[in-house]
A and B are shown apart, each in its own frame.
Chain A
């Protein structure tokens, strides 16, 4: 079963990480990533830019409404996600726990079964900023 692990946290707090803490945390998260990759369980992983860079299109009956930022004001924001292959919900929770140990403190992981996953049609060399 494929699961999406959606990473929620306060982007203000994550934005205030010191360089050292950021590097340490990323290194610990990479260990978890590498393990999943070796097991052939790691799908696409994305880290999103802050919600201040986001735009929302609110569908309406007539003209859709374009809004700056995410639609709802919340304390925690969606900062990124992993797609992973897990034998069971327990296994997915286990993985989320490993992520939580690597990146402790505030925030939460939403574990969400994936209904459909479409293959990426992007050229392999496509980089986010390009």
Chain B
């Protein structure tokens, strides 16, 4: 029988807790990872015959810790390893350990492990790579593939990131409430980075990079299990699930971008939408709004609209206005303008984005939106100039192709104009 499938899943699921606890014992990332690796090898040997232990994480921590300590001893004195049976027969030791792994400690171990990956000195790509390696347990080869770089280069990048984190000193003291909240916020931001790294991939990259969006969802569920009462964590999870639900509808056969309002909504993933909606509903009950919750609430209004024309743009406009207050940024205002266009028309939307020009002059999306608004207002020469600027700033051929469609449309309209 194929035991590997479920054993792999149990090991992956137990990994963050186990590596987090081993990191607390050994205070060194490499030792913790090696210890966990050793425990996994023993699990693969013994679980198919003995069945899985009652508490897989506790088993792995216990076996990993013993293995690493044996290793230290062996290096020192060349003492032989105890035989397999002695290690596998955990009996009371396992339950005792499980008792000590109470909720609070588990939470802090896990948060520490995630927090280690978001060290402010690490650039975003290194934070993501480190999280994928030490928390998700992806191989260097898998991570290299997702980042479209060579394995050796990725190995080096991760080694360097680990060294940097090690030099900075790992945070082992039990965090206070304020510090815990700060760590949680950094970790949430890092998890959203992981998700976006995959979600922003081009159509032809989704096979490789797209997996990062799934890893992001996996990480946020992990965070949510240990912080089940944090509305912003619920909001982030909802936001990611509702965005990910649209994955199958976002590109056409040739890799072109399909805008939200043109997507075939029957391709949206009902199960992810149901989970996302459940989470945002739960989050809102707490009446502690935050940026992730508001963005999720906007995504939820899109998900709830059976057809694009059913979208509650007035509510979306209000939500963006809240987001602007909470987290002012020209990009948020630009997004709000798209809703304002639907509610109050292109003139009001254009008026809203015009002051953003200096800040967003190099932002592809700004010129795309501006062009579309000018086109609606029939200011064709200005629309063409904005679209030309957008094409020059496009990050991908698909983005450029999308704008070119607008230009073609403008061209046709002027061609049919009586001269």
Q: Using a CB–CB distance below 8 Å, which chain A residues touch chain B?
A: 10, 12-18, 20-21, 24-25, 49-50, 52-53, 55, 66, 68-69, 73, 75, 104-106, 127-130
Contacts and interface: CB of A to CB of B under 8 A. Distances in A.
Contacts of B273: 129
A84 to B, nearest CB: 23
A73 B103 contact: yes
20 contacts: A10-B10, A13-B14, A15-B218, A15-B221, A16-B8, A17-B6, A20-B5, A24-B2, A49-B275, A49-B278, A52-B279, A53-B282, A66-B285, A68-B234, A73-B103, A104-B1, A105-B3, A105-B9, A127-B270, A129-B270
A30 B367 CA distance: 51
Contacts of A52: 221, 224-225, 228, 234, 237, 279
B232 to A, nearest CB: 13
A117 B222 CA distance: 36
Contact of A12 (B2, B225, B237): B225
- Which 7 A-B pairs rank lowest in CB-CB distance, beginning with the nearest? A105-B6, A129-B270, A21-B5, A12-B13, A16-B12, A129-B274, A53-B278
Contact of B9 (A14, A73, A129): A14
B56 interface: yes
A105 B103 contact: no
B229 A68 contact: yes
A120 B237 CA distance: 32
A24 B1 CA distance: 12
A106 B51 CA distance: 8
A17 B228 contact: no
Point out which of A12, A13, A15 has the most chain B C-beta atoms below 10 A from its C-beta.
A12
Contacts of B2: 24
A12 B56 CA distance: 11
B7 interface: yes
Given A49-B278, A53-B279, A75 B5 contact: no
A55 B282 contact: yes
B271 interface: yes
Interface in B242-286: 270-271, 273-275, 277-279, 282, 285
Given A12-B222, A13-B13, A50 B275 contact: yes
B8 A18 contact: yes
A55 B282 CA distance: 7
Contacts of B288: none
